[in-house]
Structures are given as C-alpha cells and as structure tokens.
Amino acid sequence: MRKELEVRSSYGSPNTSPVIEIVGLRKTYGEGEASVEAIRGIDLIVNEGEFLSVMAPSGSGKSTLMHIIGCLDTPTSGSYRLAGRDVSHLDEAELASIRNKYIGFVFQQFHLLRHLTALSNVELPLVYAGLTPNERRMRATEALRRVGLTDRMYHRPTQLSGGQQQRVAIARALVTDPTVILADEPTGNLDSASSEEVLGWFGEFHRAGRTVVLITHEPDVAKVASRVVRMRDGLIVGDGPPELVFGGTGTTIDGANPLVPAIKGFDSASGKLGPK
C-alpha cells in the first residue's frame, strides 16, 4: 500500500514530497446507536508547497478532518503520516509537540487570548517551543510586521477589528515557521474586504513555498486555492483545480479512488494544467 501511495502521490508535483498522507481514514464519534460516522474512508495526499482547499457543506466532516490533520484528534481507523511520521496513534503529549512544530492554525473564531496583547498572543507558541524571551519578542514582532500590524502590537483583541484579530492569529500561525498552515473557515466571521485580505495572505504563503490547507463551505473562498477537494457526507467526491472542479467538467469522482488524479496533467502545486 505504501509503495503504491508513493507512486500515486507523485502526480501533483513530482519534485516535492508528501507532507500529508492519509489512507483509509475514518472517524466515528460516540458509540452504538448514538454514534456518528463523521469521516467514512478518506485517502488524501498533499505535497509540500500545495495550496489546497477542502470544500463541503455543513456537517460533512470538514472540521473533523481538520482536527485530525492538525493533530488535535486521532482517527478511529486508517493511517495519517505528517511530514513522513505516522501520527495516527500518538498520545496527547506527543500530539501537542508535533502540533507546535509542524502546524500553524487559523480558526474562524480567531481563538486569541483576550487578556494578552497581540504581541503576547503571537509569542505564545514560541513559549511552548522553548525559545528565550528575547528570541520570542523578535520573532513575534517580525510576524506582526509581516501582516501589517506593527502599530497594533500592544493592543488587546477587544481593541482590534475582526480583520485585525484574524491577522494576529495568522501571525501566531506563522511565527513557528510551521510545515503546514491549517485554516478552518478563516473568513467566516469577516466582512468581504477583510476576507479578501486574509485570503490574500494565504496566497502569499503559498507563493513563498508553504503548504496551506484551507477549509471552507464557500466556493468563492475555496477557489483561491490551486487545488480543491470536495467532500460530502464524510467522503471525498472531487479533486482538481478550481476551474475544473467548479466548471463541472468531470472532476467529480464519486465512488472512485480519490488518489487517482481526476485531471490528467494537473499540477497541484502550481495549479496549472499541462506539462511544466
């Protein structure tokens, strides 16, 4: 299985290695009659430097998938390798350390600590990473500068607009230099101008060579990525570049193995069709 995966994973971008390798993933909440099968068998490979969006209606299992990809939760069955390491069965302490090292999170509700300044919020992941106070301050200041918030560093979240709070959250996600930036409905609480700005940042990260996974139920948000994975009822039902996934030209692959490229010649890293 593993060998087969390696061969197939090369379809998107032959020069990069897989960062996320998910095989036969299932997640069931609860037991017996009250149980809910939120993810019902997903295979997904994301290569280094891809900008992927996962799009699905409410209740389809997007956040469940995000929690597993982000090592906030573990699957009921199936395997998940992050940056080459099997993280399907780690305990809470191991998961926390992997999260801090590999994942930068951006959530719909920002999840900033209200009593801390923007600067202290951005420093927080670096405290867990064990950096000295000086290093933390320098890196957090630089991350806030990058998202244009130098003049708001000492403000608390309640003194910032929604868009500014999300930019603080983005700086916090970036500051550890994570392998994957994982965003769950990052524009869900923002007006259209702030949404555009936030999505622009994700595009920037992608151009800088980072791997970005953007989870959303909105086609207008999903299409900013170079590859769109559609989910329905806990399964992947489509995978390809946005113009084809939304163009209805045959990327829906109900019943097929989602690891098989729906579009021949689609380069998922650049989002372009045809030979490089």
Ligand X SMILES: Nc1ncnc2c1ncn2[C@@H]1O[C@H](COP(=O)(O)OP(=O)(O)OP(=O)(O)O)[C@@H](O)[C@H]1O
Dump the DSSP string for 58-106: TTSSHHHHHHHHTTSS--SEEEEEETTEE-TT--HHHHHHHHHHHEEEE
Min dist CB 228 to Mg ion, Å, is 17
- Give the number of residues in contact with ligand X, rule: CB under 6 A: 13
In 3D space, the residue among 21, 29, 94, 33 whose CA is nearest the CA of residue 59 turns out to be 29
**Rounded to an integer, what distance in angstroms lies between the CA atom of residue 161 and that of residue 157?**
8
Which of positions 197-216 make contact with ligand X (CB under 6 A)? Answer: none
Which of positions 80-119 make contact with ligand X (CB under 6 A)? Answer: none
Min dist CB 62 to Mg ion, Å, is 5
Q: Is residue 63 part of the contact set for Mg ion (CB under 5 A)?
A: yes
Quick note: the x/- pattern for ligand X over 214-253, rule CB under 6 A, is ---x------------------------------------
Helices then strands, each counted (H, E), the chain? 9, 12
Select the span of 57-65, 78-86, 158-166, 242-250 touching ligand X (CB under 6 A).
Answer: 57-65
The residue to which tokens 């990525």 are assigned: 225
Min dist CB 63 to Mg ion, Å, is 3
Residue ranges in the chain assigned as alpha helix (H): 2-9, 62-69, 92-102, 118-128, 133-146, 162-174, 192-207, 219-222, 242-245
Integer-rounded Cα radius of gyration of the chain: 18
**Rounded to an integer, what distance in angstroms lies between the CA atom of residue 176 and that of residue 173?**
7
Min dist CB 233 to Mg ion, Å, is 14
Select the span of 7-15, 28-36, 148-156, 165-173 touching ligand X (CB under 6 A).
Answer: 28-36
**Rounded to an integer, what distance in angstroms lies between the CA atom of residue 244 and that of residue 262?**
10
Between 62 and 152, name the residue whose CB sits nearer to Mg ion: 62
Between 219 and 261, name the residue whose CB sits nearer to Mg ion: 219
Q: Give, as one character, the DSSP assignment of residue 150.
A: G
Between 63 and 88, name the residue whose CB sits nearer to Mg ion: 63
Quick note: the x/- pattern for ligand X over 61-80, rule CB under 6 A, is xxxx----------------
Q: Is residue 187 part of the contact set for Mg ion (CB under 5 A)?
A: no
**Rounded to an integer, what distance in angstroms lies between the CA atom of residue 187 and that of residue 266?**
27
Min dist CB 63 to ligand X, Å, is 3
What residues make contact with Mg ion under the rule CB under 5 A? Answer: 62-63
What residues make contact with ligand X under the rule CB under 6 A? Answer: 29-30, 36, 38, 56, 58-64, 217
